[in-house]
Structure 1
């Protein structure tokens, strides 16, 4: 079976459920590759013959982000800081003292803005709901930032990748795969630089004395 035949055999509904499910679980505080799943699904939607709708991917991603963050908020509010002690033992790479300290300082300093913009930063994305709950952020403010951030992130990412995929497919049909390789390298480089910047920010916040 060819790759195209395999892709065409995937029901669109399954794609939407996977997107919503993975992003929802990630938003609970469990480190899953939600952004990778969202981008991959958006690329699938740029292949019109597959019947996958970018609109429904955006809806599924937004719903997963909003619901997952809200459940994470409730869990964090109920269990408080003990939740992060447990997560630190289970997922030390993601919930080690340095990352927890960084996220807590960002949330303390920026409040609801950290919930909104945290959706766009991988390190903060898994902290948003549980940490906002643990810090006793008022739920109406959290919900507003959560809804706006989830929709902007999921819909923005989906349609940006969708249109890039459509353009790339048209462009490659006229030129060659060299352009795709260049674009891929550029994207990976930007992602690496953003990750390094976030890590340096985490180190800076971790080294600052507590207020």
Structure 2
């Protein structure tokens, strides 16, 4: 079952915890679809199923805490940790992925943590890699908090706003569609009625009645005098 279908099937109160846990685990370094979970929860919020503020709060908390735990793990495990993960998960932690992430960190420093929150590949690497490269924690924490708040809060707000606008548009469109359908139905009935009347006027013999001449002849035949009987 896909994560979006799963979130839609659980009770509303469980959505908050699931979103927070999924994003936490992804930020920690486990390849999970955190962004899909956040977008799905935001869509549910736009539908009125869950509260958007709680979705954003849980997502922000999961992002910040997960990245911080990932930083600690990376600082203790170092590069051998990534080599081990690369053997187990080559599609996510392969040498090419690791090299790309390292180049981003060497070029951008703490901003790689911030912008990494918006990129799927770096979102998994950001915390552990920052720790393994011995980035000062205060720099990491600033970028981590800013990235988590803007990514999680911004995504929730954007999807919620677009969803509500789309919902209002669809409601308006449904009323417009209903009015247009009613007008179309009334117009079609009027056209059909006019065509039927025109057809009856042009072809009276097929309308179920009889021409006037035949009706008069029948009347005359019905009133013809009967001869009187002969007298004795």
Query: TM-score scaled to structure 2, two decimals?
Result: 0.70
Answer with 8-17 or 113-122: which moved more: 8-17
Secondary structure in structure 2 of the residue aligned to 1:120:
coil
Structure 1 residue 128, shift from structure 2 partner: 0.4
Q: 1:70 aligns to what?
A: 68
Mapped to 2, the partners of 1:86 and 1:141 lie a distance apart of 27
**Structure 1: gaps of 5 or more residues:** 1-6, 177-211
Mapped to 1, the partners of 2:76 and 2:10 lie a distance apart of 39
Mapped to 2, the partners of 1:131 and 1:8 lie a distance apart of 33
Q: 1:23 aligns to what?
A: 23
Structure 1 residue 108, shift from structure 2 partner: 1.1
**Structure 2: gaps of 5 or more residues:** 1-6, 175-232
Structure 1 residue 157, shift from structure 2 partner: 0.1
Structure 1 residue 147, shift from structure 2 partner: 0.6
Structure 1 residue 24, shift from structure 2 partner: 0.1
Change (3 A) 1:9 1:129: closer
Q: 1:13 aligns to what?
A: 13
For 2:107, which of 99, 109, 116 is the aligned residue? 109
Superposed structure 1 runs of 4+ greater than 2 Å apart: 7-13, 173-176
Query: TM-score scaled to structure 1, two decimals?
Result: 0.77
Mapped to 1, the partners of 2:90 and 2:172 lie a distance apart of 48
RMSD: 1.8
Kindly provide the CA deviation profile for residues 88-116 of structure 1, in whole angstroms up to 9, marking residues without a partner as x: 11211111111100000100111000000
